[in-house]
Every structure is written in C-alpha cells, then in structure tokens.
Amino acid sequence: MGGADPSVIKVGDLYVSAKSVDGGVAVRSASTLEGIATAPKRQVWLDTGGLGEVWAPEIVHLDGQYRIYFGAGTGAAHRMYHISSSSPDTGYSAATKVSLPGDKWAIDGVPFTFNGQRWFVWSGWAGDTNVEQNLYIARMSSPTAATGGRYVISQPRESWERVVGDPYINEAPQPVVDPSGRLHVAYSANGSWSSKYCIADLRLRAGGDPTYVWDWYKSNGCLFGSYAPSMMAGWDTTVNVDGPGHHTFVLPRGDVAAGPPSGNRFPTMYHAVAKGTPYSWSNRYWYTGTAVWWGSTTYRRGNVPGPTTDTGFSLKFFE
C-alpha cells in the first residue's frame, strides 16, 4: 500500500490500521496484515477545522476505546491531537488537543503503560524553532493530558544519526517491552526524505527511571537500514528496500507488554522505497516484516553519567 507512517494493532482476529489520507484519518481492517492494502477505507475523521497537515496517526486500544493520536498543524504549529470511539472504524469523536508539557511542536506521539504508570512519548522541538527533533516522555494523567514535566530521552547527537541533517532527527518512537521486562523505544533517525532513514533502539536500564536520560542506552548504530556505514556492527543492511523507517510493532491492542506473549518474534510494518526506485516521499510504500528479540547485546556510550555499557535484548528486523 502506498504511503508512509504505518500504524497497525491486532484486535481479536483482525488487523486494524490508521493512516493519514484525504485531509484526515482513515481506518482499514483485515484478517491478515497483507489484506490491509485492499481493505475498504473508512474515513473516520476530517480536518474540517483547518488544523493543517495531518501526520502519522497512531491507533491504540485503551480504556475500552479505540484511540487515534496524530500530529496536525502547519509549520511550527504542529501539536498532538486525539480522537476516540468504541468501534475501530466508525463513530470517532471530534479531535481534542493532547495537553503536553511546554506546549511545543510535537509529532508522532503514542501512549503506553509501563510498570503501572501511563506514559506518552513523542518527537518534538526543544524550543520554538526547527533546530533538531528530540524524543520526549511525560507521565499521563488521562488519555489526553500529561502531568508533570517533559523529559528528553534522546537527541540526534551520534555521528550515524547525523548523516542527514537540516534538521537532525529522532522521530517515530515505538515503545515495546522485551522478554526480560525492560522498556525499549525503537525510533527513526536521519531525514525521512533520504534513503539513509533508519530504525534504532533505546533501551532502559534494568530498574531505570524513564524520565532520566542517562538511564537510557542507545544502540550503536541503525538496527534496520540500507546505508551500511550507519549500521550497528553485526546488523546487515536491507536487501529489497531503501530507507526503512517509521515502523509499527503489530501488538495485540497495541499493548507494549505483549511483544510478543510467547516466542521471540512478532510482526511489524514500516515504510520504505523499493530498491531501484528513486527515493522520494511519493514512492514510499508500507511493507510487512518481522522483529526478533536479540539477546545479550551490549550498547556502549562515552564518558557520561552512569555505566558506559549495558547488556540486554536488542532487536533485529527482517524484511
């Protein structure tokens, strides 16, 4: 299916996707991941209020409701919004702005629960200008409101995250809990307009505080990408596509603790451009793939607070 920024969850025997189309958000449901491409499109929300560009809807099932979070706005006005319904493909509410600390530019937000606490993670700017996109986290008091401060957990400061700039980018965070109970946030780095776009990983140390940046350990390179110099040692480049990124872990009801409930592999979807095709936004398609938990992987970092190495699960992605 053509387009970018897939979001898919499993609900019973159905796969349910959300996508930005036609000035709003559409949902498709199918019995297989591949079937989403030809499933009927149900437009569940239109930007009748003139919010602006609608980016990267993220669907979850939370508190008995289907909820879709998306970025909307023009230029520096992009903020996160939320719609909800008791049904996956009809009856969605009007859009409500998600109240985030600081009220700065924000996209790609997704809620999750970890150790009994609700969180929201997103990509945003530190200030009011487009210098770089960082990953932020905040505690949530409700599906549409954060409480307390926002905390940076990643900035695009590693050399392999800076092969494409203006701005340098960390975006599309996807939280998931590994088989040892540790929290990860897989994310996309480098500009989505480049074939050097890729997926990397943040891993929270055992017993760590999600709001403390130095409790997060970053993979030493891309884990899924087509540009060999940026890849983490021992991770191979893609064979069939260029610039894979902005992925979704296909989890039951979007529950980050359900990845996977048994075994060590689970389905993903991501956008990319077919090899041999000019890399452009208009040539992006959704692809199905597989993520595998990869044990005993050490992430190393420089002279910063806390231990310089951390060993645990990482991820390998397969086309």
Token digits for 273? 């451009």
Contact 198, 243 (CB under 8 A): yes
Q: What are phi and psi of 135, to 5 degrees?
A: -100, 130
Report how many domains make up the chain: 1
Range of the domain at 51: 7-318
Minimal CA–CA distance to 203: which of 56, 106, 307, 101? 307
User: Tell me, what's the pLDDT at 262?
Assistant: 56
Q: Hey, what amino acid is at 304? A: V
Q: 166 φ, ψ to 5°?
A: 60, 65
The end-to-end CA distance of the chain, in Å, is 15
pLDDT-based confidence at 57, cuts 50/70/90? very high
Q: pLDDT digits over 234-245, tens only?
A: 999 999 999 999
Q: What is the pTM of this model?
A: 0.97
DSSP collapsed to 3 states, 163-198: CCCCCEEEEEEEEEECCCCCEEEEEEECCCCCCCCE
Inter-residue contact 241 to 273 (CB < 8 Å) = yes
Judge whether 223 and 199 are in contact, CB under 8 Å: yes
CATH number, residue 134: 2.115.10.20
Which pLDDT value is given to residue 307?
95
Residues 28/19, Cβ–Cβ less than 8 Å: yes
pLDDT at 261 over 80: no
- Give domain status of residue 2, yes or no: no
